[in-house]
Amino acid sequence: MNLLIKSATVVDPASPFNNKVADILIEKGIITKIAKSINEDVKTVEAKGYYLSPGFFDLNCNVGELGLETKEDLQTGTAAAAAGGFTGIALTPNTHPPVHSKAEVEYLLNRAKNNLVDIYPLGAISNKREGKDMAEMFDMFKSGAKAFTDGNRPVQDAGLMERALLYVQNFGAKVISYPEDTSIAGKAKVNEGVVSTMLGMKGIPALAEELMIARDLYLAEDTDSEIHFTTISTEHAVELIREGKRKGLKVTCDVAAHNLILTDEALMGFDSLYKVKPPLRTQKDVDALVAGLKDGTIDAIVSQHTPHEIEFKDVEFEVAEYGIIGLQTAFSLALQVGLPVGLIVEKLAINPRKILNIDVPTVTEGATANLVLFSADGEWEYTRANNRSKSYNSPFIGQNLKGKVLLTCNNKQISKF
């Protein structure tokens, strides 16, 4: 795999070529030379006006395998990831069976061998994700799980969460919390507020998320543990985590790309494509999330890619499943928010890997080529034809989006789009 990328603007704070226009020569999967001008008789990509950065990494990705392959399998999931600029994805354990022992971790890693996209299975905190007994976390860690979460099931038992935080300290893993107090959220489907009242639907209060964040921050402080909150969505959640960081707690968090763009007003037509969890909140919450990204309170942006077959989404809003597919649109949505390219690379490529304590690729000579080439200005239409996922549950299909991924490169493989 030899390739010459001409006149790309490098975006990588760890590279001596950061923010500089350069030619990059890749030979056998290694960046062998970076210079102002390189002339080699190899396949060449003209990249003037485009950006080159480390490949993106998704901390919250749902792929149906194991057991739910009709929604998504590893082949289609990684294809969608590569098309969205991702060269690494962390898989939640929301499968059937769940990833709660080393057998599932090893199966996924074996299935993902020789793929352009690196796979990182996240192990369950509790056995069967039931929130009762702790799963075999150390065995899963030894087999390749870097962090532990019950996925879209919040850990309601504070004692279980405390034990998990203490236990993973012994081997340097991390606990990921999906913050929701289910006793407050109940069976509601949308954000509690003006829109839920207009729709005549019971709402999920912001308090359901914020109480769980407050609880887990106290637990992390008491145990002197690291904790990561995934898909925060409210203004006060941002404030709680900001205060936790100010106090010196070992806390990080991420936000789903669609929660940076959409508000609960999108639900006025009862379109189940907009049914997600945490639910779409208010414009005030969206503004706080964007501000949290800019000031460093929020560390990463995730796709929260959640594929579903048509029979689970093209139904009445009340019974439809939560979630949208997001791997191919996360970068475009981050641009739509108005975030600068350098900050997007930090939130999509660099910080997610730091959170999982895995090596961050760099655009330097001698480094393995783990890269994404993208345009911040180019527009593309997201269609059913160019959707790489097995599922189609995205409200953005049929829309023109800004920000186009042109090429991904990793593991001596290249995909061009």
For each of the domains in the chain, give its residue range(s) and CATH number, in order of start.
1-49 (2.30.40.10), 55-355 (3.20.20.140)
Question: Is-cis flag, bond preceding 97, omega within 30?
Answer: yes
**Secondary structure (3-state) at 319:** coil
Tokens 């898989």 -> residue:
91
- pTM for the full predicted model: 0.96
CA distance 323 to 300: 19
**Secondary structure (3-state) at 95:** coil
pLDDT of residue 41: 86
CA distance 204 to 192: 5
pLDDT of residue 1: 73
Inter-residue contact 193 to 214 (CB < 8 Å): no
Tokens 């997600």 -> residue:
276
CA distance 207 to 277: 14
Q: Which helix (H) or strand (E) holds 245?
A: helix 235-246
Angle, CA 149 vertex, CA 187 and CA 214 arms, to 5°: 65
CA distance 175 to 125: 8
Q: Please compute, for residue 293, the number of CA atoms within 13 A of its CA located in the half-sphere on the CB side.
A: 31
- Which whole-number Å values give the CA distances from 189 to 270, 390, 391, 411, in the listed order? 11, 25, 22, 41
> Where would I find the H helices in 275-416?
283-295, 310-313, 330-337, 341-345, 351-355
Q: Please compute, for residue 54, the number of CA atoms within 13 A of its CA located in the half-sphere on the CB side.
A: 29
CA distance 72 to 64: 5
- Which whole-number Å values give the CA distances from 219 to 59, 151, 245, 255, 396, in the listed order? 22, 19, 14, 21, 39
User: Which sign does the torsion angle of CA 356, 361, 362, 363 carry?
Assistant: negative
- Which whole-number Å values give the CA distances from 38 to 7, 18, 24, 244, 327, in the listed order? 10, 18, 8, 48, 33
pLDDT of residue 155: 97
pLDDT of residue 384: 96
pLDDT of residue 213: 98
**Secondary structure (3-state) at 254:** strand
pLDDT profile of the chain (417 residues), mean per 10:
93 96 96 93 93 98 93 96 98 95 96 95 96 95 96 96 96 96 95 95 96 98 97 98 97 98 96 97 98 98 97 95 97 96 98 97 96 95 96 97 96 94
CA distance 202 to 188: 5
